[in-house]
Amino acid sequence: VEFLLGNLFSTPVGQCLKKATDESLQSEDWTLNMEIGDIINETEEGPKDAIRALKKRLNGNRNYREVMLALTVLETCVKNCGHRFHILVSNRDFIDGVLVKIISPKNNPPTIVQDKEDLDFPHIHLLCDCGHSLTYSGLQPKLSK
């Protein structure tokens, strides 16, 4: 699939996300995390590019450090980005295809990922709950420009 979309980390937001989730970071780079949010808010393709890069970083990644940093970036973006990003994050594809897989016991995630997901990311949980509620009610939010 990546060959159809190109390198997901080659976009401006993808490049920042790759740096912000690099396992060699000693702690979160809040300046970079906020820059990611700015790119998402200020560019037409920012929200879609960010979601694609986050999916790439989170799906099947067994490096819990990168996963935790990516979840922190996601939480920062949920808090600071607008409607266009929120619609994509609350989409069933992202919730079930990415977030649920990260914490699902059947995928045997590291305990720290399960614990952190439950404790430190309330905004992600709120969006997941809203997305599930809308989906199970037969509604699917539409992305508007």
For the chain, give every domain's residue range. Answer: 2-136
Q: Which CATH entry fits the domain spanning 2-136: 3.30.1490.190, 3.30.70.260, 1.25.40.90, 3.30.870.10?
A: 1.25.40.90
The pTM score is: 0.76
Mean pLDDT, residues 8-20 taken together:
92
Averaged pLDDT for residues 92-108: 78
Question: Using N-to-C axis directions, what is the helix angle for 46-58 and 12-20, rounded to 10°?
Answer: 40
pLDDT more than 70, % of the chain: 68
Q: How far apart are CA 14 and CA 57, in angstroms?
A: 10
Q: Which two tokens stand for residue 117?
A: 């997901």
Q: What angle separates helix 30-42 from helix 12-20, to the nearest 10 degrees?
A: 160
Q: CB of 3 within 8 A of CB of 37?
A: no
Residue 64: pLDDT band with limits 50, 70, 90: confident
* CA–CA dist 112, 139 (Å, integer): 34
* 21-48 exposure pattern, b = at least 16 Cβ within 10 A, e = fewer: beeeeeeebeebbebbbebbeeeeebbb
Evaluate if residue 85 carries a pLDDT over 90. Answer: yes
pLDDT at 12: 94
**In this prediction, what percent of the chain has a pLDDT beyond 90?**
42
